């Protein structure tokens, strides 16, 4: 049985989901319970109460999945339940790393028995990733992809790309540490090579996501920002322009497009984008301050000092410490 936790006392964000989870466990609906448990923990991984509840659920689920109704007599069932609960208690008293390594060992054993279980491959990859071993996680997913039924799984391809990025980040971190401890041109070159490799991979990964989800503005904005950081203003502008029609991402797309035009010295066009971004929200939010700053800076570049002063002053009224607004206002006041 799962712990008795009053649903009314839970975080309202996942109260309804956990209520369904409890009912699923009590009714013996293991497939639904497992899927629901993963969803709750995936959305709220840092919630201690949720984690404790789901750990208790895992005991009940393990008994369900293990063909509870087919296992021996009542005494044997009680023995199995007691053993499962004892194992769960041991897990709670062990260190996070130890628990994760125990999870990895258990999942590897389960995969030997059922090598086509995609859910366990994902769980094992996630476990290795949480242990800070993305290479092991990547190897795990590659084994999953070798299964004929999983070879063309899109979600696995995305996970592989994400893990490859983690491996490259780890590699960059390692060479940067070595660079601090060493000296010489070769070390600096190694760091630069690792940094470029990570950047190229991230660009490729975002490109893949844009192609896979062309209507998701967040991926287009992320790719546009990366291209912009590399100085590729024209291709960045294309991504931002395609993301403008997404209501959820319109402000970010307009800001990116304005910066792309600004990089190309198309200041009049840039100013229009920043004005459009400002029209999306009348409250002085973080996003509005950023748009106002860009508008002020662009107006200054166009020689419209009064417009620049007015925009900087609007930020200064609500946040005197924002970037270099104070210094910019002082400089304009001296003109």
The answer to the question of residue 14 being in a domain is yes
In this prediction, residue 8 carries a pLDDT of 42
Check whether 119 has a pLDDT greater than 90: no
In this prediction, residue 65 carries a pLDDT of 47
The answer to the question of residue 69 being in a domain is yes
* In the block, residue with structure tokens 């466990």: 25
Question: With bands split at pLDDT 50, 70 and 90, how would you rate the model's confidence at 68?
Answer: very low
The C-alpha atoms of residue 311 and residue 288 are separated, in whole angstroms, by 11
Domain boundary residue among 59, 93, 127? 93
The answer to the question of residue 261 being in a domain is no
The answer to the question of residue 9 being in a domain is yes
Distances (CA, A) of 165 to 218, 220, 221, 232, 321: 18, 18, 19, 22, 36
Quick one: tokens of 299?
Answer: 């107006």
Query: What confidence tens digit (pLDDT) does each residue in 281-310 have?
Result: 888 889 999 999 999 999 999 999 999 999
Question: With bands split at pLDDT 50, 70 and 90, how would you rate the model's confidence at 69?
Answer: very low
In this prediction, residue 220 carries a pLDDT of 95
Question: With bands split at pLDDT 50, 70 and 90, how would you rate the model's confidence at 89?
Answer: low
E strands present in the chain: none
**3-state helix, strand and coil shares in percent for the chain, rounded to the nearest 5:** 80, 0, 20
Domain boundary residue among 93, 113, 140? 93
The answer to the question of residue 163 being in a domain is no
Instruction: Pick the closest to residue 194 from 167, 158, 217 (CA basis).
Output: 167
Q: What average pLDDT score do residues 209-229 get?
A: 93
How many structural domains compose the chain?
2
The mean pLDDT value of the chain amounts to: 78
- Which residue range(s) make up the domain with 20? 1-93
Domain boundary residue among 42, 61, 93? 93
- Name the percent of the chain lying above pLDDT 90: 37
Query: What confidence tens digit (pLDDT) does each residue in 132-160 have?
Result: 888 888 888 887 777 656 556 666 677 78
Question: With bands split at pLDDT 50, 70 and 90, how would you rate the model's confidence at 244?
Answer: very high
319 three-class SS: coil
E strands present in 112-217: none
The answer to the question of residue 334 being in a domain is yes
The answer to the question of residue 19 being in a domain is yes
The answer to the question of residue 143 being in a domain is no
How many CA atoms, within 13 angstroms, populate the side-chain half-sphere of residue 205? 20
């Amino acid at each position: 049985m799962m712990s008795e936790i009053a649903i009314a006392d839970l975080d309202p964000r996942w109260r309804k989901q956990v209520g369904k989870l409890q009912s699923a466990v009590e009714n013996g609906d293991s497939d639904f319970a497992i899927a629901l448990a993963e969803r709750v923990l995936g959305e709220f991984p840092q919630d201690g109460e949720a984690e404790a509840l789901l750990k208790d659920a895992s005991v009940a689920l393990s008994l369900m999945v293990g063909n509870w109704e087919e296992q021996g007599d009542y005494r044997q069932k009680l023995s199995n339940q007691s053993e499962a609960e004892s194992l769960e208690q041991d897990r709670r008293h062990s260190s996070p790393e130890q628990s994760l390594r125990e999870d990895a060992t258990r999942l590897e054993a389960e995969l030997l028995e059922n090598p086509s279980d995609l859910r366990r491959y994902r769980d094992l990859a996630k476990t290795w990733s949480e242990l800070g071993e993305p290479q092991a996680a990547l190897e795990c997913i590659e084994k999953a992809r070798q299964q004929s039924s999983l070879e063309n799984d899109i979600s696995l391809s995305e996970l592989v790309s994400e893990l490859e990025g983690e491996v490259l980040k780890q590699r960059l971190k390692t060479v940067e540490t070595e660079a601090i401890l060493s000296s010489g041109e070769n070390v600096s070159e190694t760091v630069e090579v690792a940094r470029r490799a990570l950047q190229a991979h991230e660009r490729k990964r975002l490109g893949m996501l844009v192609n896979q989800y062309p209507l998701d503005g967040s991926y287009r904005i992320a790719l546009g920002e990366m291209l912009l950081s590399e100085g590729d203003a024209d291709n960045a502008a294309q991504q931002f322009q395609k993301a403008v029609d997404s209501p959820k991402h319109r402000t970010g797309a307009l800001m990116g497009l304005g910066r792309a035009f600004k990089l190309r010295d198309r200041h009049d066009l840039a100013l229009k984008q920043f004005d459009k971004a400002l029209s999306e929200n009348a409250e002085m939010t973080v996003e509005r301050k950023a748009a106002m700053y860009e508008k002020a800076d662009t107006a200054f570049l166009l020689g419209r000092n009064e417009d620049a002063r007015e925009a900087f002053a609007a930020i200064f009224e609500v946040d005197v410490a924002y970037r270099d607004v104070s210094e910019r206002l002082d400089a304009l006041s001296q003109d």
